[in-house]
Amino acid sequence: MDRRNFALSLGGMAALGVLRPAMAGGQGAAQASGCAKPVYLSFDTGHMGIADFVADVLRRHGVRVSFFAANEATQQGDGSLGDHWAPWWRARAAEGHEFASHTYDHMYWRGDLRASKDGPVTGFRVRPSAGPRANQSFTVDAAGYCEEIARSARRLQQITGQKPLPLFRAPGGKTSPALLDAARHGGYLHVGWSSAGFLGDELPSDRYPNDQLLARALRSIRSGDILLAHLGIWSRKDPWAPAVLEPLITGLLKQGFCFRTLREHPDYRDWIAKFA
């Protein structure tokens, strides 16, 4: 995610322009009985260094989430969608989590292409952060971008045996109306995140310490919000998840919230049902 998408302060952080969107155990069992105040926790891939910790916390509290996966570089193994991490994804599928594409090579949209100033969009400038063309800028047409989305979805299905949701999240949340239209025609709706749902795990920890991020989230999150975190951020010196994830989950449960996957989100469930 590009921090330039956000105007942030220590007193309150708001995301600008990126909006939307059988488990056992005591609190998890309580969630299953009804859900008057749903929130939708989602994780994008990252270096995967906290992946096992995240899985343990989710399992302990009976929380199901939606994972958006790209084949990003990892601290261990051959990429987050490589063979090394395949057993991890299979275990999450068995626990009832949902999966969707984050583009295969974590491909950032950089701009639309037009043959003339007022002409139709003919393609997109992109810059992936992973894969054989990492950190190179080039162009793709609509079909090429949709294939980039679909490639991740195919790999997820190959690993887990579970059909991913027909959703995607663009790296950094960076899109254009033309790109969203192309993706929709290719069978994918875009999922952003709610303003209060930006959990701040990729911000510099010296300026945005974990205790402040936790306090902000518990104060600001509302029913229906889509929450965003990552499975490891290279640049953050004080990792977010070990300090924040569990107290965030327990704090929201105490406030009467319950966790649902994006399959149940009112903005997406009819679309998802079309592809069932």
Cα–Cα dist 117/215, whole Å: 47
Write down the residue that tokens 């406030």 correspond to: 255
What average pLDDT does range 160-171 have in this prediction? 98
pLDDT-derived band at 35 (thresholds 50, 70, 90) equals confident
pLDDT-derived band at 17 (thresholds 50, 70, 90) equals very low
Asked whether the predicted pLDDT for residue 11 surpasses 90, the reply is: no
Q: What pLDDT score does 33 carry?
A: 54
User: Which residue from 253, 245, 263 is spatially nearest to 55, judged by alpha carbons?
Assistant: 245
Enumerate the β-bridge partners of residue 138: 126
Q: What are phi and psi of 250, to 5 degrees?
A: -65, -35
Asked whether the predicted pLDDT for residue 240 surpasses 90, the reply is: yes
What average pLDDT does range 82-87 have in this prediction? 98
Percent of the chain with pLDDT over 70: 88
Tell me, what amino acid is at 220? S
